[in-house]
């Protein structure tokens, strides 16, 4: 990750690094995530669980966070870097008089890449824009299985996997320049990801579906964001 950040900053043109017009923005919102392989894997694992175990969460839409730094080239063009953080998860669970069984599957992703924004139109204090992002997304996937029987010892096992995706996210949005250098931003986009195979951190082995195909992460889905930006100089 440190090498990626170093490369990103090194290949930016000098006029960006020392620009006199910088825009810093922080966003949060909701993202929908594909993760079809993880959902199938969750269904597969429930067949090995105690009878009547059920799914209580299946990688639902969840919070999405974004931060960016842009160079304002002129009234229409902005170019910069962006960072994203995503998360979701699944859970199989059973509770009754004899104890509890649970399988937690949690995934998060950290992305870094480039961003280009084009101001399509401006009216009063509002800017209508189109934006494109592209970069690398690093995923961490955690599995924790727990069996707790009353008056019997608790058994817990856990695994940690990682994967890497390439992402591209086109979006449309509107900026409200409501006070001096501070603005509110609203956008709607769709992220398209390549699929990254999940590898066990220690052994680099992949986990597979019953078909024998590696399980892959896929963060593709809609992004609805709102945020606050500040223009420096």
Asked whether the beta carbons of 160 and 140 are under 8 A apart, the reply is yes
| pLDDT above 90 (res 163) | yes
- pTM confidence score: 0.81
Asked whether the beta carbons of 150 and 114 are under 8 A apart, the reply is no
Percentage above 90 pLDDT, the chain:
61
Domains parsed from the chain with CATH numbers:
2-8+22-232 (2.40.160.20)
- Given this model, what pLDDT does residue 15 score? 42
Kindly write down the DSSP assignment for every residue of 204-229, as one continuous string.
-PBPB-TTSPBPEE---EEEEEEEEE
Q: What is the pLDDT of residues 89-104, one digit of tens each?
A: 999 998 887 788 899 9
- Given this model, what pLDDT does residue 20 score? 62
- Given this model, what pLDDT does residue 229 score? 93
Alpha carbon 166 to chain centroid, angstroms: 12
Residue (of 125, 128, 129, 105) closest to 117 by Cα position: 129
Q: How many H helices and E strands in the chain?
A: 3, 12
Alpha carbon 101 to chain centroid, angstroms: 29
Percentage above 70 pLDDT, the chain:
91
Q: What is the pLDDT of residues 54-95, one digit of tens each?
A: 998 999 999 999 999 999 999 899 999 999 999 999 999 988
| pLDDT above 60 (res 134) | yes
| pLDDT above 60 (res 7) | no
| pLDDT above 70 (res 17) | no
């Amino acid at each position: 990750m440190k090498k990626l950040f170093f490369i990103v900053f090194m290949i930016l043109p000098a006029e960006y690094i020392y620009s006199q017009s910088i825009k810093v923005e922080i966003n949060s919102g909701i993202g929908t995530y594909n993760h079809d392989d993880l959902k199938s894997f969750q269904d597969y694992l429930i067949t090995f669980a105690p009878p009547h175990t059920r799914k209580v969460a299946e990688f639902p839409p969840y919070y999405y966070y974004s931060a960016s730094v842009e160079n304002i080239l002129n009234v229409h063009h902005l170019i910069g870097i962006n960072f994203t953080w995503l998360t979701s998860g699944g859970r199989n669970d059973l509770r009754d008089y004899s104890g509890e069984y649970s399988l937690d599957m949690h995934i998060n992703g950290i992305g870094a890449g480039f961003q280009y924004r084009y101001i399509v139109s401006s009216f009063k204090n509002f800017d209508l824009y189109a934006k494109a992002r592209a970069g690398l997304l690093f995923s961490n996937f955690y599995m924790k299985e727990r069996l707790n029987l009353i008056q019997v010892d608790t058994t817990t096992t856990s695994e940690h996997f990682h994967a890497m995706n390439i992402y591209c996210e086109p979006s449309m949005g509107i900026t409200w320049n409501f006070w001096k250098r501070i603005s509110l931003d609203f956008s709607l986009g769709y992220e398209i990801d390549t699929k990254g195979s999940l590898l066990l951190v220690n052994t680099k082995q992949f986990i597979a579906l019953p078909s024998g195909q590696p399980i892959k992460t896929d963060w593709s889905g809609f992004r609805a964001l709102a945020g606050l930006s500040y223009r420096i100089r």
